[in-house]
Structures are given as C-alpha cells and as structure tokens.
Amino acid sequence: MSLIITDDCINCDVCEPECPNSAISQGEEIYEIDPNLCTECVGHYDEPQCQQVCPVDCIPLDPNNVESQEELMEKYKIITGQA
C-alpha cells in the first residue's frame, strides 16, 4: 500500500528529500505522493522515511492503493532497474 499526505500537511519540506524514490512532490496546496513511485521505502529502509520525519504525523497508508510487501518489492525493482 502506498502512502498519502493528508490535509494536515504544513508544507515543512522535510519529507520530500527523504524519499528514495522521488515519489513526493509539491502539489498545488500541500505535498503529494505519487502512488506509482511509493514503495513505503521497501527495498531501501525498514520503515517509510517520510513518516519518520513528519512533525505533524500526516502521512498514513493510502486505503485506495493497497499493495502487498511482495508487490512493493516488485515496484522497487522496476523503479531501480533491477527487474
């Protein structure tokens, strides 16, 4: 399952540079996560780095993009050219 940034985002800019897949970008009002690039840091880290640094805890799992750990690992391999 990819992550999503909620309206509680304060645009503090700490999450974007932490994303190893460049899935986070500035949206019209708040930061956004591209579900096609988000692997919840699977393949890179044990935990999603954006969630670790977010000071307002506004990055939950996205219920509209449910993926298994195996699917996230496959996405990681495709994104990093290891597929």
**Model-level pTM?**
0.92
Cβ neighbours for 23, distance < 8 A, ≥ 6 positions apart: 2, 33, 34, 35, 36, 37, 38, 39
pLDDT of residue 83: 74
Q: How confident is the model at residue 39 (pLDDT cuts 50, 70, 90)?
A: very high
Q: Report, as an integer, the average pLDDT of 39-46.
A: 96
Mean pLDDT of 39-48: 97
How is residue 63 annotated by DSSP?
T
